[in-house]
Structures are given as structure tokens and as C-alpha cells.
Amino acid sequence: MIPVKFAENIVNIPSRFTEIFGPLLYHIVLANRPRVIVETGTCWGYLTAWLALGAQQVGARFHTIDFYNEAAPHVGPDDEPQVSAYLEACGVRDNVTLHRGEANYVLWGLANSGLLDDLGLAMLDDEHARGQITRECEQMLPYLCDWGLICGHDVFDQNYIDMACGYRDLAVAHRLEQIWLTESSGLIIMQKRPSGHET
């Protein structure tokens, strides 16, 4: 059950086309029970809050990464305290580790510290460029557990066609199952099947 404090305060977090995917990702976490969750592109923390609520309820470790180097409507250099306050108001701040920095560098640090081991869910929503998402996926795939998921947002936004092609190529190259959702700028969900279960 979603706590009242969360339900009352999630509406205060700016979300920009992600509203429909927050509850979806939350229920994916409940269903798949990942041990480790990673998000790139915290922004104001809307999807972060839903993922953190799921992490709280299944006992997962959750890391979210943002450079905090953009301008409105995204987050800038002075916005991290506000993001933290939004998560605190939802009652989930203690269930997520906020990382400030470039995603590939932070992922490298997490991997070297053993914190990516048994990765069960990754949500990519930072730089919408094919090269960036390819590097992030390639960094995370060695740590992705069997049945683990990698998700990417804005895949049906006409401004990011090349990014969507990058996800498609990654799914094919690594024999990942794919689900493409067209709502709200689009979401791809890719799943790693165990050896012997490939279709």
C-alpha cells in the first residue's frame, strides 16, 4: 500500500511526461524484487520517488545519478537540495543514494566498489544521445542479473530517434527481450533472459 505521506506529496514533484511511468516502475519493482536499482537522470526526482518507494518495500539498494548541470525545466547546480527535499517529503529519502556527476564515471565507481553487482533494474533518462545510452548500457550489462531490466524513456520522441535506434541495436546485440510503450513520449523495457531461455 502506498503511504499517505507519499501520495500527498508526489504531486508536488515536477514530472514532465513521466507521470504514467512512475506507478508502472513502482509495480515492476514490486513484481521483480530487484536487489539493486540504478537510475541515470534524477532530474526533480519524480521517477526517483516511485523507484525509491519500491526499493523501500522490497529492500533494494537504489542509486540515482544526475550531473545537476542544466537549466529549467531540468535541474541545475543549485537544485540538488530541492530534489532531496521532495524525496524527504514523500518519505523515501532514506531509500535512495543521490550521486552528483557524469553517469559513466559514477557507474564506474559503483562497479569498482561492488555496488552494481546483481543489478536488477536500470532506468535511463539522462542525456538523450545514442552514444551515451550505449555506453551506460554496456557498463551495466555485465552486472545485470538474470531476468534483470533496463528501461529507457522518451524513445518515441521525434527529437531522439537516434537514441531509440541505439536501444534497438543494443537489444538485438545482447539478445534482450523488448517491450516498447508508446504513451507519454515512450518507454522501452529490455530484459535479460538466463542462458538457455533465449527466444
The pLDDT assigned to 197 comes to 66
CA proximity to 26, closest of 8, 7, 5: 7
Amino acid 182 reads T
The pLDDT assigned to 199 comes to 53
The pLDDT assigned to 184 comes to 86
Look at residue 85 and give its three-state secondary structure.
helix
| pTM, entire model | 0.95
The pLDDT assigned to 198 comes to 56
The pLDDT assigned to 55 comes to 98
170 vs 164: CA distance, rounded Å: 10
Pair 86, 9: CB distance under 8 Å: yes
Domains and CATH numbers, the chain: 4-191 (3.40.50.150)
Burial class (CB in 10 A: 0-12, 13-18, 19+), 94: exposed
pLDDT mean for each 10 residues of the chain (199 residues): 92 87 96 98 96 98 94 88 97 97 96 97 93 95 97 92 94 95 94 78
State how beta strands 187-191 and 144-153 pair.
Answer: antiparallel
The alpha-carbon radius of gyration of the chain (Å, integer) is: 16
